[in-house]
Amino acid sequence: MDRVKWLWRYLWQLLADGEYWGLLLGFTAVFVGYLTVWLPGPAAGLTLIGVEMGEWLKFLGVGARRDIFYLPPITLGLLLALWTMRWQNGRWQTWFMRGLAVAVSLLAFPAIADLTGPVRHEYLLRVQLIGLVVLVAGVCGVAAHWRETAVVGWLPWLLLFVVGLVGGVLPLWYYLGEIRPYFSQVIGVPLGVGPGVWLNTLGHLLVALIALRQLLPTQKGDALHRPSG
C-alpha cells in the first residue's frame, strides 16, 4: 500500500515538474489521433480516420451531432492558444504558437460548396467555433500584458482543464454510445475502437490532468509551476 501511495505521489509531482513536455505530449497525441484510424472497419473503404468521421456521418442523417467529430481540431486550437496566455508577446514563439492554434482549427473548416449550398446553416457552428479560436488567441495576446497578475496566473489552467475534459470525453462518449453500435448493426460485425479515439482521449485528458495539478497547491501550500515563457 505504501508503494502505491508513493507511486501516486511521484506521478502527481511529475505532472507538476514536467508540465511543459507533458502538455506537448498531450497536444501531439490529439493531433496524431485526429489523423489516425477512429473507425476500424472490416474493409479499407469502411475504415475512417478522425478527419473523415464528421464528413462521412452526414450521410447517416445525424444532423448537428456529427460536429462532435470536428471538436478535436477546435479544442486543440483552444488549448494551444490558452497555453500562451502567460507568454511574453515579444517572443516569436508566442505568436507562432497562436498562429498554429488557428491553423489547426482550420481542419474543421467546411468546404466552400457546403457553405454556399442550401444547407449552409448546418456548417455555421463549425465556422463560429473556428472564430472562437481566433478570438481566444487574440484575447490571450491582450491578457499577456497582465501575465504577472493573480487572475492570469490561474485562469489559463482552469480553461485548459475544462477544454481538455470536454475534448477528451465528448467524442469518446458519442463514438462508444452511438456511432460504434450503429455501424456494428449496419455492417453486421462488431467493430472496435481505433487508436485515434484513444489518442484523442488520452491526449486531452493528459492536458486536463496537468492543468488540474497546476491549479492545486503543493503540500506546503505553495503555488505550482506556471507555463514556460
Looking at residue 224, what is its pLDDT? Answer: 39
Looking at residue 10, what is its pLDDT? Answer: 54
Using the predicted structure, report yes or no on whether residue 27 has a pLDDT greater than 90.
yes
Q: What is the pLDDT of residues 83-127, one digit of tens each?
A: 999 999 989 999 999 999 999 999 999 878 777 777 677 788 899
Phi, psi of 48 (to 5 degrees): -120, 135
Q: What is the pLDDT of residues 165-199, one digit of tens each?
A: 999 999 999 999 888 888 788 777 788 899 999 99
List the single range of 20-24, 122-126, 135-139 with lowest mean pLDDT: 122-126
Q: What is the pLDDT of residues 59-81, one digit of tens each?
A: 666 666 778 999 999 999 999 99
Closest among 67, 72, 26 to 167, alpha carbons compared? 72
Q: List residues bridging with 39 in a β-sheet.
A: 48
Secondary-structure breakdown of the chain: helix, strand, coil percentages, each rounded to the nearest 5: 75, 0, 20
Closest among 154, 168, 16 to 85, alpha carbons compared? 154
SS3 label, residue 37: strand
Looking at residue 229, what is its pLDDT? Answer: 46
